[in-house]
Amino acid sequence: QVQLVESGGGSVQAGGSLRLSCAASGYTYGGNWMGWFRQAPGKQREWIAAVYTRGINTRYAEFVKGRFTISQDNARNTVYLQMNSLKSEDTAMYYCAAAEVGRPVRFPWGADRVNYWGQGTQVTVSS
């Protein structure tokens, strides 16, 4: 059974940084897209960034380019999201997401095209 477990959320002041982690288990890591979404209260879940777990291919939503960086550690089956220059509007629940191995993903990645979700980790940015 595929499991995605996020960690690293918390509260930070505007301008600060956080690093989120997503540990994947239950399948042979590699050969699929993994990424991060977020959902603020009253808003739709939106895609942030994605990484292909075999290689160095990354993709970003326009609104986070230059502030957020997605990366992965194959040895740890873990995907990271480094978030810098955080703003109050970045406050949301952040979710790790994964597609099935071998399944292509069209970007921007729609939430309805995600196969697996983590439980979410809260990020709160105070101004």
Show Cβ contacts of residue 52 under 8 Å, excluding neighbours closer than 6 positions: 32, 33, 58
In 3D space, the residue among 31, 20, 22 whose CA is nearest the CA of residue 3 turns out to be 22
Which residue is associated with the tokens 């326009």?
62
Q: 21-24 long-range CB contacts below 8 Å, 24 or more apart?
A: 21/78, 21/79, 21/80, 22/78, 22/79, 22/80, 22/81, 22/96, 22/118, 23/76, 23/77, 23/78, 24/77, 24/78, 24/79, 24/96, 24/98
- Note the pLDDT of residue 85: 96
Is the Cβ–Cβ distance between 78 and 23 less than 8 Å? yes
- Note the pLDDT of residue 28: 79
Distance (Å, whole) CA 92 – CA 10: 10
- Note the pLDDT of residue 30: 80
- Note the pLDDT of residue 26: 86
Give me the tens of pLDDT residue by residue for the chain, a chain 127 residues long.
Answer: 899 999 999 999 999 999 999 999 988 778 899 999 999 999 999 999 999 998 889 999 999 879 999 999 999 999 999 999 999 999 999 999 999 998 999 999 999 999 999 999 999 999 9
Distance (Å, whole) CA 11 – CA 43: 20
